[in-house]
Structure 1
């Protein structure tokens, strides 16, 4: 293979990688200009490769999957009898796999014929086979990358265009509009879960990423104001993200990293929305810090800590560290405040990419939705975020940048989270539309119960039972709505006595029975203890704490009861009672 061909193929790989990181600058694009084509027969595939890569760079993944290059690799798809069945999808992907192998082998046969015509020796034949296979492998790789990015766009980044439910967007797959691809989705989901799609990051790798980006993170306290009407400055947690350039600059002004103009425009719009959100709520999104030059540990300007310019890679690392901090700590008020500095540091950046901004907003929404004073703002932010992700602006090419560097939820999962946030804010009617569109039947039934529409809930459950009669969750939901024990027994039957929800019904009945017992005999310490233990099983710490206090009045010699009481006292944050027990 000539040097020009090698340079071209390597340039294709770099262009594909750059599509998911950042757009190339004009100087880099000129430097990576494709070399003139050589006379090698593999260059017949060069125009196809160029067209596919250009479509990927534009964000037109559907165009790449329906291009002439895809037809060259998968000619059978035009005449394929598409059907929304599991058998069809299994046969289709089997044919895809065999066709890729045949396409690569055809390169070897083509090279062998070229060698016969040219009279080359054995060594020249081997080189020609390798060259032809390399060109074909690159073409297959380009189609595979287009399919991967189309999957990411459709399920994670948006915009949610009208994609065909079938993998290759040929005219034959679009003829029958009645086919919605439901069975194809079920098959793909089973393949993903069986292969293992939940890859968990490891903390040492996160530390390695910080060192690679020359970033040092630490959290400190700085006097500032958290609310609009706050008079006295209080200590605020602030993230200090110190880069190697800052350590070497010795106080000189650092320039902001270069971000493409289209990404900067997206961020500017987000910054204006943050200001409007501050006007809607008296809690500031970013604390207003005091100016001070007395503390050398924060370089004399605490107000500039959160505003230090960070690259997109450094912002992604900060959000990953935020997620790691959230997952390794219990879900309580103190832990939520520990992740706040990471969110605020990225939120204060003047320039960032669309997907990083979305992930930062998701983390903020999850944090602020747990606080009564910011719950309404979290709902407004979620509403704007869902509209933005599902909307047409920005383009797919802008959204895909750094999409593999942050842990964003899928679009259905985001909408499900939005629906549950609506329910927690009392907007049940709006949540009904979301759950019905996503076919989240359990959440939909729960909304009907909140609205006291028992007949609608019963009709929905029975309609679902006609399709899936062995679903124990539906039988439990029917028992919840009608308050009939027979349906819980049916749930246990269809689940082979493994339905925890149906068994929980027995716990509630036991609590009612023991409650009746203590009403008849208030000094029955054993009954009080049973009530407390049952509440512990149901994770009702407050009710369990009250019942244990009553039980201890009559069974003070039971050390097991004292031990359980101390655990429950810790759960309800009654540390005074714990100290008394320890003494």
Structure 2
């Protein structure tokens, strides 16, 4: 059991220290499957091993569920695993003395609410929002409840939930931003901005996108988006939108800066590469520089 716990912890370290790509996930899945196979193997079931494997097996199955949800062929098994993990906490067997609680911290076994939140997240990921909403309501996860109501088109219930939270004294910038999303009232974003002491990136992002899509004012939108990116620069989609605003304003040097930051954060964003090339060309730079920044595909070179 100690070795199995070590493998699970090493798997978590490996996941956190490597890129979030398919290769890393497959490597983690292989490690988790090896632990599950060893923990549930009949040849390993002795009196001592049986008592100490329950937390390890629970943690391993919990880790496997999100790794399997990437595949449509295995997502049903992932859901069943999470359902079973939730249900086992209320069963009389195995008894407390047989659950190997002394190995609890070694295995980093998840709590029941952590498992249910993961279950709700998997449900929501493939569109079963109503089932996920039931879990959110049961655990009073109000931010997720508001998001679920909004996605289900029940804006009135979302607004009611938000106002109840605000009335109860739980005033936060995110709540006012959510209220602005539901009511389409920009005053709530301004309130969130003031309440956060000018530190809410979400409030400025929402005001910027509203200025661009509703008011059709790219200059004002760029001002808001820049404030949001000063607070949190790791918003890839916002860098792209800011670059598009500057393209509309014909401010090509700033557009180039925005798109260059975008591709540095997401090198596979082909649209950002193409827009970066356009910004370089229209800013009067040599075409050789545009070729350097964009991909070398034949279609892109023909456009130049």
TM-score, normalisation: structure 1? 0.39
With over 3 angstroms needed to count, the CA separation of the structure-2 counterparts of 1:504 and 1:419, relative to structure 1, is same
Alpha-carbon distance between aligned partners in 2 of 1:537 and 1:506, rounded to the nearest angstrom: 25
Contact kept, 8 Å, 1:476 with 1:487, in 2: the verdict is yes
1:547 aligns with 2:275: yes
2:256 — aligned with what? 529
1:339 — aligned with what? 28
**Pairing partner for 1:398 from 85, 98, 103:** 98
Structure 1, residues 482-512: CA drift from partner, whole Å, max 9, x if none? Answer: 2221111101111211222212224435765
**Pairing partner for 1:490 from 191, 209, 231:** 191
Contact kept, 8 Å, 1:507 with 1:534, in 2: the verdict is no
Alpha-carbon distance between aligned partners in 2 of 1:558 and 1:442, rounded to the nearest angstrom: 49
Alpha-carbon distance between aligned partners in 1 of 2:92 and 2:126, rounded to the nearest angstrom: 28
With over 3 angstroms needed to count, the CA separation of the structure-2 counterparts of 1:508 and 1:529, relative to structure 1, is farther
1:321 aligns with 2:10: yes
1:163 — aligned with what? none
Shift of 1:539: 7.3
Question: How many residues in Structure 1 have an aligned counterpart in Structure 2?
Answer: 257
1:348 — aligned with what? 37
1:504 aligns with 2:202: no
Contact kept, 8 Å, 1:518 with 1:524, in 2: the verdict is yes
With over 3 angstroms needed to count, the CA separation of the structure-2 counterparts of 1:509 and 1:548, relative to structure 1, is farther
Higher relative contact order structure (alpha carbons within 8 Å, sequence separation ≥ 6): 1
Alignment of structure 1 residues 189-338 onto 2, 5 Å: 312-338=1-27
Alpha-carbon distance between aligned partners in 1 of 2:122 and 2:172, rounded to the nearest angstrom: 26
Alpha-carbon distance between aligned partners in 1 of 2:160 and 2:200, rounded to the nearest angstrom: 23
Alpha-carbon distance between aligned partners in 2 of 1:410 and 1:524, rounded to the nearest angstrom: 52
1:446 — aligned with what? 147
Alpha-carbon distance between aligned partners in 2 of 1:537 and 1:465, rounded to the nearest angstrom: 39
Contact kept, 8 Å, 1:368 with 1:378, in 2: the verdict is yes
Structure 1, residues 457-479: CA drift from partner, whole Å, max 9, x if none? Answer: 01111111101253111101101
Contact kept, 8 Å, 1:326 with 1:339, in 2: the verdict is yes
**Pairing partner for 2:285 from 516, 539, 557:** 557
With over 3 angstroms needed to count, the CA separation of the structure-2 counterparts of 1:394 and 1:406, relative to structure 1, is same
Contact kept, 8 Å, 1:511 with 1:531, in 2: the verdict is no
With over 3 angstroms needed to count, the CA separation of the structure-2 counterparts of 1:464 and 1:338, relative to structure 1, is same
Question: Is 526-535 or 346-355 further displaced after alignment?
Answer: 526-535
* 3-state DSSP of counterpart to 1:394: coil
Alpha-carbon distance between aligned partners in 2 of 1:575 and 1:372, rounded to the nearest angstrom: 35
1:463 — aligned with what? 164
Alpha-carbon distance between aligned partners in 2 of 1:355 and 1:413, rounded to the nearest angstrom: 14
Unaligned 5+ runs, structure 2: 45-49, 219-243
With over 3 angstroms needed to count, the CA separation of the structure-2 counterparts of 1:380 and 1:503, relative to structure 1, is same
Alpha-carbon distance between aligned partners in 2 of 1:395 and 1:575, rounded to the nearest angstrom: 64
Contact kept, 8 Å, 2:66 with 2:122, in 1: the verdict is no
Unaligned 5+ runs, structure 1: 1-311
The CA RMSD over aligned residues, in Å, is 3.5
Contact kept, 8 Å, 1:511 with 1:534, in 2: the verdict is no
TM-score, normalisation: structure 2? 0.72
Alpha-carbon distance between aligned partners in 2 of 1:385 and 1:317, rounded to the nearest angstrom: 21
**Pairing partner for 2:80 from 366, 369, 380:** 380
* 3-state DSSP of counterpart to 2:107: coil
Structure 1, residues 323-364: CA drift from partner, whole Å, max 9, x if none? Answer: 111111121111112222211211222045111111111111
Shift of 1:398: 2.2
User: Normalized per residue, which structure has more strand?
Assistant: 1
Alpha-carbon distance between aligned partners in 1 of 2:188 and 2:264, rounded to the nearest angstrom: 22
Alpha-carbon distance between aligned partners in 1 of 2:9 and 2:296, rounded to the nearest angstrom: 33
Shift of 1:397: 2.1
Contact kept, 8 Å, 1:491 with 1:499, in 2: the verdict is yes
With over 3 angstroms needed to count, the CA separation of the structure-2 counterparts of 1:315 and 1:517, relative to structure 1, is closer
Between structure 1 and structure 2, the one with the greater Rg is 1
Contact kept, 8 Å, 1:479 with 1:487, in 2: the verdict is yes
1:81 — aligned with what? none
User: Normalized per residue, which structure has more helix?
Assistant: 2
* 3-state DSSP of counterpart to 1:403: helix
Alpha-carbon distance between aligned partners in 2 of 1:510 and 1:533, rounded to the nearest angstrom: 23
Contact kept, 8 Å, 2:117 with 2:135, in 1: the verdict is yes
With over 3 angstroms needed to count, the CA separation of the structure-2 counterparts of 1:448 and 1:497, relative to structure 1, is same
